[in-house]
Amino acid sequence: MRVRHLRVNRYGALQDWHATDLPGGVTVIHGPNEAGKSTLFDLLTSLLYGFSPATGEKHPYHPWRDGGPLDVTADLVLQDGRELRVHRRLTKTPRGTLVRGEVAEDLGNRALPFVQHIGRDLYRALYALTAYDFRHLDDKHQAEIQDRLLGGFTTTQFRPVSAVLGELQREANQLWRTDRRQTKCSLLSAELRRVRQARQEAVRREAAIQSDAARLEELKNELDALRRERAGLQARVRRAETLAPAARTLRRLETWRREIGDEKRLAALPADLPGELQRLEDEAHARAAEVEAIEAAVREQEQAVAACGPAEEQVLARADDIREWVRLAELHDREQRELERAGGELQQRCGRLRERAAEVLCAPWSEAAAEGLKALPPAELKARILSHGRDQEKHRQIREARLHKEHNTPAVAPPVPAWAGAAGAAAGLVLTAVGRLGDVTALVAAGPALLVVALGLLVLSWQQRQTAGQLLDRHRREVEALLGQEREEAAAAAASGARLAELLAGIPVAPALLEHPDTDVYEALTGLRGEVLETEETSAQLAQRQAAWEAEQGRLAAVAGDLGEPLERGAGPAVDRLHARLEQAAKARENRDRARAQLEELHARQLEVTRRLAELRARRAGLEAEIRALAGVPAAEPDDGIGVPAAAVARVTALQETRQLLGHHERELQRQYADLPALREEIVALERDPEQAWVLDPAELELAKNRLEELSRRNEELYKEIVDLGREIETHRRGPSPGELDGEIQMLEEESAVLTRERDRLMLARMVLQRSDREFRERHAPPVLRRAGAYLNRITGRRYSHLLLLAAADGGERLMVQPAGAADPIPVAPPLSRGTLDQIFLAFRLAVIDHLDQDHEPLPLFLDEALINWDDLRLEHGIALLGDIAARRQVFVFTCHRTLAELLNERLGAAPLSLGLPDAAAAPRTDPSP
């Protein structure tokens, strides 16, 4: 995975900060202390995994001065070439969006899907390396790494064995402990006692419920009888209160209706008669003036129709072409500049290709070398390099075994000298002869004894010499056998080297690289091959874009020539002139079309206003005639200046007001009484029936209201007593019943019996799992140690060759390192130097990261002042190693040392990305106060 573009609107010390076209290899971040290097790592971690903490005010990089939200966006490129965009924003709650092509996915605060094989904490502990972090992994991360390394032999779906063992022990302790602390068994016993006491209380509650239920039934019966009486009395009072006021109102309305007379003719008149008459006169004058204004507007629009000539029509005919070029002009000129820039970048890329080729090839760069690299099969190259490496390693091992055998000749004890036996035999013969001659008994006895001892010494000397000869002869044969194996392995190594040289026959690879080829040679050649293919593809794309640009330039020249406009090298000036002429012609045509449309509207409006004027004059005459008729005024009487007498208008206005008052009261009655006709008939019948006169009697109505109040008070008392009893019964029923408690007692007794069996099962499972895990770790050495040893061997210039994980006296494991030429490994601890320890732990962590990313998306690596304790030679080796790692994953190197940044730029072509001085207002907040 590669971070290609990074846009930071606000994140701690970084405000409106952008980084574009980040390389896929090594990116050097250079800046002084507190410039934001740590902020940048936390920002990139939040992009991958979401914000932590996920509340804006609690986040350590929340800007406390302006209080704005954290807002970052990044463009990512995955290993398979897919391009993604990630946007995260943190206000009070986190928001996240993942854009894949045209599809946008709501992330919320979840981690990206392709980083979920590594947790946030483990990522921060492994992938962000500082000089301090190399040797300070906490116990949690060490255990997780060890379990995941060994877990590669089984499955990644199970949790670490150490976590499972701890959970089994804790779960067993919760069931039963020898120190008599509170456990599930003691809790079950206490619960059982509590449930038995609760059953006794439940029996008492059942008796209280039965007594309260009987009293509740009596109160409900009394309440039902009271409500029936109250409902009947309420109906009588409502009938009396409704009919009496309605009867008085109906009599008053009949009087007004006789006064009004014909309501329909009054309803047809306007509400404001004087105002309506004056309005009709004023509107008639206004319509006459409008007719004159319309005639003047018609003449003006007819003059505007002829404003659009042939020149404007010619420009409008090419309007689509001009608009298209207005849209494309800036893109066309920008494409011209982009083509010039891309041509320069292609030249630079070719230069970098030659420089990279010079590191691998021993001859100048040529087309033949390029063709050879393109035809090189990567799979076959890797297979032959690995085969040659294995043959060389076998030859080295056999040779070391032979040399060890030659330098370790078996030690042979010196035999007893033969002269000692001969001298003893001679002395024995002499003693025997002297004793016989002198008749000395002692000498006669000692002579044969000494002779026997001397013969024994001779036999022993002969046997020792035979044994030594056999041992040396067997050692010689073993050395000869190893020498034969060495010759065979040397021949195999030479054959595999010849096959590799045959595959690289067309490529002038430096001979030094082929002496001991490894994966570095493979990665260098395949990387150079990919660079050649990518350069050729870029060149072809640039030629295609240049041809398309020239075709567009010719199309623009044709349009400009038809309209008589000169065309310069760029499209901008000519397109601007054409666009200005098009806007003028379009405006002229728009004015012409608008004038034609307005002429049609003006003619129609003229007819409509003329017709409206005639209607106004006719309506005014009819209204005057209707007012005279309703007011009883003859038509021959003189008027008050507007065609009708003022007295007649006042009379008709008073009648209208009476009619409005009548309508208001009728609507009010209709609103109060839904069925007004039936109510009117009921009032008439009531007035004719003397037995129903009590409805209109105020004294009888007052007695009925008093009785109704008395019934309401008693109703409230009964209701309150019923509610209290119901609450009391409900309170008793809230507790469990005796039957439920009996079932609970039985269940607790059964659970107590199960706990003992469960504890035994858990302890047995823990013992089996612990023993199996120990045996598994003893049989399987993590392959990550071999990779870490290879990294260390390269960093230290073959000073240290292997890393080992050996058993320690305390039952754990201890990391050891094998120096070159030494017989035994040494512990990874002082007196090794600080720089060497840093290099060992860097190699180990790089190997762990490679193992964790296997079959997953390779995640970016961050190094913060990680190389400050290294000498010049190992620093060169380390930078070269970073260059190789950068071929597989993106590497960010943070440093405040300008010399290191310049060295990385010189060796790896990683131009430093500078950070500015820190802003105190945007620094990470450590004080919780605002």
3-class secondary structure per residue, 596-629: HHHHHHHHHHHHHHHHHHHHHHHHHHHHHHHHHH
pLDDT tens profile 612-639: 888 877 887 777 777 777 777 776 454 4
- Which of 17-26, 571-580, 593-602, 852-861 has the weakest average pLDDT? 571-580
Task: State the pLDDT at residue 135.
Answer: 47
Q: How confident is the model at residue 75 (pLDDT cuts 50, 70, 90)?
A: very high
Residue 925 has a CB neighbour count (10 Å cut-off) of: 18
Say whether pLDDT at 677 is over 90: no
What average pLDDT score do residues 551-565 get?
69
Around Cβ 361, how many Cβ atoms within 10 Å?
21
| Candidate from 116-120, 338-342, 578-582, 724-728 with smallest mean pLDDT | 578-582
Q: Which of 82-96, 538-552, 880-894 has the lowest mean pLDDT?
A: 538-552
User: Comparing 675 with 561, which gets the higher pLDDT?
Assistant: 675
pLDDT confidence of residue 99: 92
Select the more confidently predicted residue: 690 or 812. 690
Q: What is the DSSP letter of 180?
A: -
CA distance 875 to 882: 10
Q: Are 896 and 865 in contact (CB under 8 A)?
A: yes
Q: pLDDT grade, residue 923 (50/70/90)?
A: very low
pLDDT at residue 84, rounded to an integer: 92
Of 531, 498, 535, 490, residue with least CA distance to 361: 531
Q: For the chain, give me the number of helices (H) and strands (E)? A: 24, 14
Give the least confident one: 46-60, 164-178, 450-464, 619-633: 164-178
Which pLDDT value is given to residue 96? 93
Overall average pLDDT of the 822-840 stretch: 83
**Average pLDDT over the chain, rounded to whole?**
76
Percent of the chain with pLDDT over 70: 81
Tens-place pLDDT, residues 8-54: 988 887 888 888 888 888 898 888 877 777 788 888 889 999 988 88
Give the per-residue pLDDT at 162: 57
Q: 581-595, 613-627, 802-816, 820-834: which has the minimum mean pLDDT?
A: 802-816
Lowest-confidence pick of 459-468, 698-707, 905-914, 920-929: 920-929
Higher pLDDT: 183 or 486? It is: 486
Q: Could you tell me if 39 and 61 are in contact, meaning their C-beta atoms sit under 8 angstroms apart?
A: yes
Residue 157's pLDDT is 42
For residue 229, the model assigns a pLDDT of: 77
pLDDT above 80 for 346: no
Q: Which band of pLDDT confidence, cut at 50, 70 and 90, is reported for residue 86?
A: very high
pTM: 0.38
With a cut of 90, say whether residue 85 has pLDDT above it. Answer: yes
Q: What would the two tokens of residue 462 be?
A: 């002969």
Average pLDDT over residues 160-189: 64
* CA-to-CA dists, residue 357 to 370, 510, 527, angstroms: 10, 10, 10
DSSP string, 701-734: HHHHHHHHHHHHHHHHHHHHHHHHHHHHHHHHHH
pLDDT, greater one: 66 or 477 = 477
Q: Which residue has the higher pLDDT, 9 or 180?
A: 9
Q: What is the pLDDT of residue 926?
A: 38
Confidence of residue 731 (pLDDT cuts 50, 70, 90): confident
834 vs 246: which has the higher pLDDT:
834
What is the percentage of the chain residues whose pLDDT exceeds 90?
3
- Is 103's pLDDT higher than 60? yes
Q: Which residue has the higher pLDDT, 679 or 798?
A: 798
Q: Contact 884/520 with Cβ under 8 angstroms? A: yes
Q: Is the pLDDT of residue 547 over 60?
A: yes
Residue 454: how many CA atoms within 13 Å on its side-chain side?
A: 17
Choose from 510-524, 690-704, 805-819, 886-900 the range with maximum mean pLDDT. 886-900
As given in the structure block, the two tokens for residue 111 are 């981690």
Higher pLDDT, 433 or 484: 484
Q: Which residue has the higher pLDDT, 487 or 569?
A: 487
Angle at 893 between CA 107 and CA 852, to 5 degrees: 55
pLDDT at 245 over 80: no
> What would the mean pLDDT of 529-541 be, rounded to a whole number?
82
3-state SS, residue 50: coil
CA distance 626 to 628: 6
